[in-house]
Chains A and B, each alone.
Chain A
């Protein structure tokens, strides 16, 4: 094991330029993936804020008895998708309108009768804010006899859905593309190391080293470069994050950075990329030595 590590580390000393190059390319690949990840988690964070406001409003027919509404409210609150339900009386609606719609304050003040209907406001659970679930809940609300009309930001909910899907797909595609680039680059550097060490490998074989013994250092080398590259990419990501966050107190002031588990994932990803690249390359090129 000690020999294995020594052999793997030796390649850094033998080919410092090549090793630095491969680590940097891994770092840049993961950096791009990481930047995208940062955008994704910040977008998700922002979406979560917006989703908080996804609300369904069911307008109640005038003259509906209070008990009916109380019962219905309890009923709706029991839906698994529903986070909370509140009943807004006609007076509350008017008061809110007066407070929020400043421009119409005068118009609302001089009313003889209240034109605003009472309503039931429904807020959904966090995982149930996609358009399908919203649609389903709306249908059930329409089923209540006293419900006059149901309003919700349909387009809005759908657009949120699309945005989330697009983010996911774009992230996956870019991530995969860069992962492939990283694997290829690591493969090339491992191949160069193998060619550089061809003589040594031939001798190892002749004196009876097992295949795994010969592969070991290359795999370790790939994994170690992946780890270093992952670490470097985190440093780059953090630098980019600080730069954006502190840029003139602009719109990015509220940006968040990776949580520790995200960073572990990036490091593990780096190691896996390194391993994958060296496995492919070792498998293909050791045979030709």
Chain B
């Protein structure tokens, strides 16, 4: 589903954000991206949804090569992805249901199906009763659930979650994380950037650790090596 091969990213000021990053994510995987701020997590996330291009190397997402995408193809790629952020990115002047419907409206979805699809994902994230609430009337955890519902409504193949629990208290964090696990259990790939190591430790998922733009640890690779050795 995702393949990074020898990806470098340097910024015009000379800073090197990624150095020779290579990894693959297969169907149905749940992957943590960990590392300190500035380690390159966000750069990788942005490349996944074609917000940034690699300086060299190749990034493939759901079959498309990010560096070869024409600007007009980028929206089509993003419709196959669900993106979730630390700051939720909800529109304050729209209700939860309207925020979710917005993602369908701007992608020329059939209008008569929108209400049903919005209701389905609201139910899925456990907020069926709060569709008419405005973001300011919801708790942080609930707002993030709305954002996840919005990410889900286009039936994405991959969910990209950039520090989705960064702004949440522990209880809300557990709820949101469980929701992402459920989504993954239903077959959707989840890539989650986080620096919450407790979360990483308690879940049996693959984690990729970045430091100064390089992959310093990939549990999938290390496990494979261990298996080879033994």
Would you give the 0/1 interface string for B199-210, flagging 1 where the beta carbon is closer than 8 Å to chain A? Answer: 000000000000
Contact (Cβ within 8 A) A202 B89 = yes
Of A76-84, A88-96, A203-211, the one contacting chain B is A203-211
Contact (Cβ within 8 A) A204 B106 = yes
Which residues does chain B contribute within 8 Å of A199, judged by CB atoms? 89, 91
- The 7 residue pairs across chains A and B that have the minimum distance between CB atoms: A208-B79, A209-B106, A208-B78, A207-B103, A208-B75, A210-B75, A204-B106
C-alpha spacing A211/B106, complex, angstroms = 11
Contact (Cβ within 8 A) A208 B107 = yes
Does A102 lie at the interface of the complex (its beta carbon under 8 Å from any beta carbon of B)? no
Chain B's nearest CB lies how many Å from the CB of A283? 13
Does B49 lie at the interface of the complex (its beta carbon under 8 Å from any beta carbon of A)? yes
List residues of A whose CB falls within 8 A of some B CB.
Answer: 3, 14, 199-200, 202-211, 213
Which residues does chain A contribute within 8 Å of B81, judged by CB atoms? 208
C-alpha spacing A149/B130, complex, angstroms = 98
Instruction: Kindly report which residue of chain A lies nearest to residue B71, judged by CB atoms.
Output: A211
Complex partner residue of B102 from A14, A202, A205, A207, CB under 8 angstroms: A207
C-alpha spacing A26/B211, complex, angstroms = 55
Contact (Cβ within 8 A) A206 B78 = yes
Interface size on B, residues (CB 8 A): 21
Contact (Cβ within 8 A) A207 B78 = yes
Which residues does chain B contribute within 8 Å of A14, judged by CB atoms? 93
Chain A's nearest CB lies how many Å from the CB of B113? 15
Which residues does chain A contribute within 8 Å of B89, judged by CB atoms? 199, 202-203, 206
C-alpha spacing A213/B109, complex, angstroms = 13
Complex partner residue of B150 from A205, A207, A209, CB under 8 angstroms: A207
Contacts A/B (CB < 8 Å), 26 sampled: A3-B105, A3-B106, A14-B93, A202-B89, A203-B91, A204-B102, A204-B106, A205-B75, A206-B89, A207-B78, A207-B83, A207-B103, A207-B106, A207-B107, A207-B154, A208-B75, A208-B77, A208-B79, A208-B107, A209-B75, A209-B106, A211-B71, A211-B72, A211-B75, A213-B106, A213-B108
Chain B's nearest CB lies how many Å from the CB of A9? 15
Chain B's nearest CB lies how many Å from the CB of A28? 31
C-alpha spacing A266/B93, complex, angstroms = 37
Which residues does chain B contribute within 8 Å of A202, judged by CB atoms? 89
Starting from the known contacts A3-B106, A199-B91, 12 additional A-B residue pairs (CB-CB under 8 Å) come to A206-B49, A206-B78, A206-B89, A207-B78, A207-B102, A207-B107, A208-B75, A208-B81, A208-B107, A210-B72, A210-B75, A213-B108
Does B76 lie at the interface of the complex (its beta carbon under 8 Å from any beta carbon of A)? yes
C-alpha spacing A199/B102, complex, angstroms = 13
